[in-house]
Structure 1
Amino acid sequence: MVENGNACPDSAAVQEKRGLRMPHIYVILFALSALAALATYIVPANQYDRVQGPDGREVINPDSYSSVESSPATFLDFITAIPRGLVDAGEVVFFTFIIGGVFMVIRHTGIIENALDRLLRTFAHRRVLLIPVLITLFAALASLIGTQELALVYIPVLIPVVIALGYDSITAVAIALIGTTAGFTAGVLNPINTGLAQQIAGIETFSGAGLRTVLLVVMVLLGSWWTIRYAQRAAKDPAMSLMAGEPEEQEKQELYGGAQSAEPRRMTLRQKISLLLSLPVLGVTVWGVSTQGWFMIEMAGMFVLLLLIIGLVSGLKPSELSTSFSEGMRSVLEGAIIVGVARAVAVLLEDGLVLDTIVHALGEAVGGLPAALAAVGMFFSQTLFNFVVPSGSGQAVVTMPIMAPLADLLDVTRQTAVLAFQLGDGLTNILYPTSGYFMAALAIAGVRWEKWVKFYLPLFGLWVVVAIGFLVLAQVIGWS
């Protein structure tokens, strides 16, 4: 059977995939929260003192580790962890709502359909080139300004384009997440992870850029290859798509799959003016994020301004704009709530005073390794810690004051210790469900976490091999 020019996935295959479905992400996160609460009874409570570090940031004093009075999670702590997580993650939650609303408003103006038609005609006979070009572009930007969260901006634009070219939502998400993650992880001139970690470690800011540039190229090449491989396979046989049988995906295919009309679409004058007026808003947003320390709140405010400009100038009445905005927020409701539910894990560990105990234990584990494996051990320690603190700057201020002097004792250069931090932080930012912006990105795209994991795990394994290889190389050459 053929629909919209594509063969419909075999129902038996879809049923088989459904039979392998993992538990709902709420179930997984609730179980993790329960384990975190249990850990507060088992893991001893210890703390480091906090002191002022680079740029006025609060960092830990590695010589101040001491035991404190235990504070295990009560039943009330446990049942309120999710609401408290939603409050703590409020910026990401509401940013997700606003992005969903903005995208729906733009869609209702007709601008997306017209822009889509132009792109389809441009890439109709070389559609696969779009994947490596965009991954490289997003990686370069993230490597310079260090903002993986810009994937939240890319994804709503990519979804209709990629689906209209014959691919699926996972392909669109992969282009954005793999590109930004490769760039952020390599962090050639990234102030958020590389710059801050090097300042804490006491080495020259942005030194060692040559090796990180090579790492960036390798990661981009592998990420582009893996995404192209999946996209071509899913386009050739829709039953091979991880999104096969998903009702929301079918709606997208119906909406965007036949986007190219016989006659070229033309933008109206009002649509052109609205897009022209939106360019300064986007430019100010990128400037604010990259140079002024703007984050979710400021970005959300700029996008509210964007939807007003595009919606009203394009011809939507205020009531139509409001209805479209509400519809868009409803479409990302589940994913936005998941962000807060995931935060509950860290809330319980922080309140139970066991987070510093975990950091100390990871440092002790690395200290027991032979020198040849010490850098690799640091990488795995950072990878594990990123589960509870999935923030580049947050992880840097907690772990680098310990890992930097530990590197001296283990005959590992501090530059290599910084690279181990970057790799341990970056690669899992698009794997762990405790990563707020990542779960928000999946929500905006309508992709379930377990579907993404099936796509990403093999690439993650390849990137881990690359990470180990670069760390061993850095150790051998005494990289500094």
Structure 2
Amino acid sequence: MKKSNENELEDNHPKKRRFAMPDAFIIIFGIAFLSAIATYIVPAGSYEREEVGGITQAIPDSFSFTESNPTSLLDLFLAIQQGMIESGNIIFLIFMIGGAVAVLDASGAIDAGINALVRKTKGNTMLLIASVTTIFGIICTVGVASNAVIAFIPLGIGLAKALKLDAIAGVAIVYLGFYAGNTAGVLEPTILGVAQTIAELPLFSGLLLRLAVFIVLMAVTILYIVRYINKISKDPSLSLMGNTPFTISSDEDDARQANQSFTKKHVAVIFVFLIFIGIFLFGALRLGWSVNELSAIFIMMAIVVAAVDRITPNEFIRRFMNGAKAITYGALVVGIARAVIVVMQEGNIMDTIVYAALTPLESMGVGFGAMALYAFNLLFNLLVTSGTGQASIVMPLMVPLVDMLDITRQTGVLAMKLGDGITNIITPTSGVLMAVLAVGGVSWTRWFRFIYPLVLIWVGVGAIFMLLAVMIDYGPF
């Protein structure tokens, strides 16, 4: 009787619901909404632009306030459509990769190949993970564009499946290695090239300090990934993916897992994959290929893989469409993330924010000035996630500022480069990050829970190197 009364009390007083992290769509739309409100508060303004050596850049001391263009309710929702249009190449890349990977995945070649690799390394999981992460870091830091990382995410997911981990681990192994390399930019010719050209510094100068940044970032990143992997290996319930380690899977999963032997057909499929990825990397380095060419490469690769796997055209289309359908959520997130930038650009407040942030720094000392520039670039990258875009906007304004503060221009370039790279691994306005998460089947909210401690570590590492740059008077060579 007493037990019955207790149950009645529980029914009458239900437990309070735990706070649920809002969906990525809600978070990003909230940012867009706040940006729209800002267009009513922040005065509109702009810098004049000029083209120097093929780079369109802001002209220092040319800022002027302009006529206000606040965002209406209709404009806010139109920005979503415009964001989809402007991000169309990345959105369709995600669909093409989703479809192609489904065709590749159904062949069983990736799983069989990775399982064979794991057996060859005799179960030395940590060495394998450290090696893979470091290889991708080196690939990016010597010049392969960061958006190419999207193509390699299926390999990370395949490795994570073979090691019985989760999708977050699979994404982290590849993506974080890539972005540690991107952030350091040891021999990276695009973002670093634009920044050093504007600062009138020799290309790739200051290499040794950036190499030290790369080594330290890679070390802390590998340790962070290994720590997470050890944790979920001992207790899978601690996985941030919950009860579903991998949210994207094909209908052929059971058949593929039943056939784990590494056959000649698997060798041929992997060879096709590597050939097409090699073609893209050559095009990216030599011919300036980017997202559109990568989409084309994946479509061609999927067709050739289907031929090697001897599947019918109708079966090929079924697999491809299922893969594209499974990735729709992540593809659309990219578009709404772009809407934030559309609102700020249409409202003419982007340049005003830059002007308001940089002007007070003129009266700061060397150390505080360098750290303030670093902090500004970290935050500004939340708005402009394109590295070349950020360099072309802020570097022309930072060059006279660092000269005035008696900070070396190389230190100014380092502040921009670190600021551009670090927050890219967490900001939902990054098209590359959202594409990577879409391909990996990881929601941004789960990724945020995983990544924010590492972001804080990276920020701390960057701050240490900024102070070191000031102390050693980080020069052009």
Cα distance, 1:210 vs. partner? 0.5
Amino acid at match of 1:34: F
Give yes or no for the alignment of 1:306 onto 2:301: yes
Cα distance, 1:325 vs. partner? 0.6
Does structure 2 conserve the Cα–Cα contact (< 8 Å) formed by 1:143 and 1:189? yes
Q: Which residue of 1 aligns with 2:76?
A: 78
Give yes or no for the alignment of 1:331 onto 2:326: yes
Q: Which residue of 2 aligns with 1:3?
A: none
| Paired residues for 1:271-350 under 5 Å | 271-350=266-345
Q: 1:475 aligns with which of 470, 473, 476?
A: 470
Cα distance, 1:367 vs. partner? 2.5
Label 1:42 to 1:257 Cα distance change in 2 as closer, same or farther (>3 A). farther
* Aligned alpha-carbon RMSD (Å): 2.1
Aligned mates of 2:67, 2:418 — CA distance in 1: 34
Q: Which residue of 1 aligns with 2:30?
A: 31
Cα distance, 1:290 vs. partner? 2.0
Give yes or no for the alignment of 1:213 onto 2:208: no
3-state SS in 1 of match to 2:130: helix
Does structure 2 conserve the Cα–Cα contact (< 8 Å) formed by 1:186 and 1:216? yes
Cα distance, 1:374 vs. partner? 1.1
Amino acid at match of 1:145: G
Aligned mates of 1:245, 1:343 — CA distance in 2: 31
Cα distance, 1:335 vs. partner? 0.4
3-state SS in 2 of match to 1:142: helix
| Paired residues for 1:374-385 under 5 Å | 374-385=369-380
Aligned mates of 2:311, 2:254 — CA distance in 1: 21
Q: How many residues align?
A: 459
Cα distance, 1:341 vs. partner? 0.4
Deviations 1:13-70 (A, max 9, x none): xxx9x9453101111111111111111111111111110023x121111121111111
Does structure 2 conserve the Cα–Cα contact (< 8 Å) formed by 1:33 and 1:345? yes
Does structure 2 conserve the Cα–Cα contact (< 8 Å) formed by 1:278 and 1:309? no
Does structure 1 conserve the Cα–Cα contact (< 8 Å) formed by 2:103 and 2:302? yes
Does structure 2 conserve the Cα–Cα contact (< 8 Å) formed by 1:166 and 1:257? no
Aligned mates of 1:44, 1:394 — CA distance in 2: 22
Does structure 2 conserve the Cα–Cα contact (< 8 Å) formed by 1:109 and 1:315? no
| Paired residues for 1:37-436 under 5 Å | 37-54=36-53, 56-246=54-244, 248-249=246-247, 255=253, 259=257, 265-269=261-265, 271-436=266-431
Does 325-334 or 291-300 show the bigger shift?
291-300
Amino acid at match of 1:194: L
Cα distance, 1:98 vs. partner? 0.7
Does structure 2 conserve the Cα–Cα contact (< 8 Å) formed by 1:124 and 1:165? no
Cα distance, 1:448 vs. partner? 1.2
Aligned mates of 2:380, 2:360 — CA distance in 1: 13
Cα distance, 1:228 vs. partner? 0.1
Label 1:307 to 1:126 Cα distance change in 2 as closer, same or farther (>3 A). same
Cα distance, 1:459 vs. partner? 1.2
Deviations 1:367-413 (A, max 9, x none): 24322111111111011111111000010001100011110001110
Aligned mates of 1:20, 1:130 — CA distance in 2: 38
Aligned mates of 2:446, 2:278 — CA distance in 1: 34
Deviations 1:161-202 (A, max 9, x none): 212212111111111121011100100010122111000111
3-state SS in 2 of match to 1:51: strand
Does structure 2 conserve the Cα–Cα contact (< 8 Å) formed by 1:117 and 1:259? no
3-state SS in 2 of match to 1:145: coil
Deviations 1:406-457 (A, max 9, x none): 1000111000000000110100111100001101111111111111111111
Label 1:396 to 1:172 Cα distance change in 2 as closer, same or farther (>3 A). same
Q: Which residue of 2 aligns with 1:463?
A: 458
Aligned mates of 1:286, 1:120 — CA distance in 2: 26
Amino acid at match of 2:263: M
Label 1:127 to 1:386 Cα distance change in 2 as closer, same or farther (>3 A). same
Label 1:401 to 1:208 Cα distance change in 2 as closer, same or farther (>3 A). same
Does 422-431 or 356-365 show the bigger shift?
356-365
Amino acid at match of 2:20: R
Does structure 1 conserve the Cα–Cα contact (< 8 Å) formed by 2:166 and 2:246? no
Aligned-residue sequence identity (percent) comes to 36
3-state SS in 2 of match to 1:457: helix
Cα distance, 1:257 vs. partner? 13
Label 1:350 to 1:293 Cα distance change in 2 as closer, same or farther (>3 A). same
Deviations 1:315-343 (A, max 9, x none): 11111111111001111100000000000
Deviations 1:95-119 (A, max 9, x none): 1111111100111223233323312
3-state SS in 1 of match to 2:123: coil
Does structure 2 conserve the Cα–Cα contact (< 8 Å) formed by 1:47 and 1:65? yes
3-state SS in 2 of match to 1:59: strand
Aligned mates of 2:32, 2:120 — CA distance in 1: 48
Aligned mates of 2:104, 2:434 — CA distance in 1: 23
Cα distance, 1:258 vs. partner? 9.8
Aligned mates of 1:257, 1:473 — CA distance in 2: 55
Label 1:247 to 1:19 Cα distance change in 2 as closer, same or farther (>3 A). farther
Aligned mates of 1:407, 1:468 — CA distance in 2: 17
Unaligned stretches of 5+ residues in structure 1: 1-15
3-state SS in 1 of match to 2:171: helix
Aligned mates of 1:111, 1:138 — CA distance in 2: 21
Amino acid at match of 1:32: I
Does structure 2 conserve the Cα–Cα contact (< 8 Å) formed by 1:163 and 1:257? no
Deviations 1:124-171 (A, max 9, x none): 521121211111111111101142222211111221221221211111
User: Hey, which bits of structure 1, 4+ residues long, moved more than 4 A?
Assistant: 247-252, 254-261
Q: Which residue of 1 aligns with 2:447?
A: 452
Cα distance, 1:359 vs. partner? 1.1
Amino acid at match of 1:343: R
Aligned mates of 2:416, 2:255 — CA distance in 1: 42
Label 1:453 to 1:256 Cα distance change in 2 as closer, same or farther (>3 A). farther
